[in-house]
Chains A and B, each alone.
Chain A
């Protein structure tokens, strides 16, 4: 991924050197333990080499030593900002493997939680992205709004970060009484605050100057890099797993897949802001449509899916999060593989950042919205 340009000495005749900077793994804006080896000419980036693996825990290998049910809490730690979405991808894969269908009510609850998870995750992204471009107040606002969503999760699941909120075959328990009202109240609070954020940040001249035309990636390039999620939809490609390959009950819901043609940081920003609005809309529809009934399918105490393989594909906040499970008929997976959206999206960093300035790399990295827990696993 390193790009090379002729050294400055050839162009100017003055003695000059390229400066190699080690950005990370401990750095305020690499969002975790990412290491970027930057080659600079003055402030301009001529080479960028992401180095990952500082958070590698061997998650895929661990699956081979855990029963299917035991592995669920590990999925929380893929994308720890949206652990419910990882839970969902894993449950879908295993259910498909065993030929189980979660009850309808459970499917609705899953979609509600997944969409709220998307909102919570995007709010964290908004907070950190604001911080990356120097708008420190947005950081606090994003976390303040996320609190409303996390309170809902605490009410429904009893946890605030790693929820382990789903089970193979459905949900561990039904939603508590009053959840629908609480959710509607929270949504009514979050909506105007998203508009408030629009007024504070989106139209700001400085913010536009920092994001417009920065980190541009074309539609063709984005698809060629296998980007997904908002990072892809910022490049004029309205591709969304929820639309293309519907799971749970997404085919019954009305929502738009926002997409912007510019392919720059601002487009990716706008996609995520609009997605939050759409997610809130989905949650409201689910609350209206949700039928009564059981929330968990009957699963044998010793759960041994038949030998075979299955692929659970979901649209997580960061893109196409898919889990591939292979069973040999025992109670433990034979092989488990995670297709992490952040991993694919991070690869395009070099293509996006080439020729930009140090200040831009931070904005671009922020607009890709990576989570290292998912990249390294």
Chain B
């Protein structure tokens, strides 16, 4: 079930009504209602893979109770077993074919003939997200941040809570589970804010990202026949498409969670206003980068040891983060580009320069220095997006070569036949709105005048309805 589908807009009010009006007296039944609704939501896409989700839930619930053992040695053994089990599930469904293919390829290079078995099945939607939820649970118990839960339904809701199930934000056990276990009350302000987030998220997805998609597809499919300017515009447009698509999804998830009385982690904090790559990763897909920081970077030693270890750890988390997105070399290269962009900041101890405040925090406009910083960060990010979008290393390099070669081979044709200029109709208003909202991603600023505010909402609804259609899936569903 997609957030931008009619089914979801029938499903959501129904679950809302059951949750607040029918089952409101008992927390247990409310949670059971959420769990069943979440399984229905997932089963709508594929009831076959629902079994996998349930198996994963039972597995981590069991491991969790063992990891909570007071004997640290035994707990560690169960932690390792729990993490390996999750990685095995993820590896089998998501990475097996990649490794089998690479193994076959390497064998051919070495002069052997192999015939590995390839799995012929679709990637279970959201597998990367819910397995990370499961791992977060066993990690949090091991580190003493969370106690093992005794109620499987509560744990099931944490893993499968439908707004977060297929594309995050990736929640932490110690953050979401206590909310699942405590009685929740309806808060008017929070629900209104939730509706605003849902509306803004839908707008970003349907009006901006989906409208950019045809031009971008055209550029990336026919890049060998296009000039440099078209290719640059295509890459810029993709940067905004993926941002609109994924942050739109995250906003809908955040908003829906608020309607049910949950506060989940933010995923996006206006990443394209970042002044360096370090800041970008504190603003882009925050729940994933902080997950890797907490459960991989810090256990590996983080930045507390030597510079060499810090650099090694940084490269590990960026490469793993790339690989998390998909079993392809282009995702690994995407992560590596970010790691290399991060390296100078690390070497000169500048990676924590912009940790607290947003750009131009007390001003309307950024300074020239900030503009240059933001543009250079955006440039690096956009180059990396080419590898992400192409999903093929050779094609990505050809795309970049085509941009460079068109500048010196046919400079007279640089601006001819640029049909992608229409992307600015969507991108420029998007940047301006984001700039206006940039101080808080969770509290959308709206006009104080109620007539003006309602007119704005209605206009947004009409624009969404106008652009709706074609059942465009969310880009991050594939991960």
Asked if A and B are interacting partners, one says no
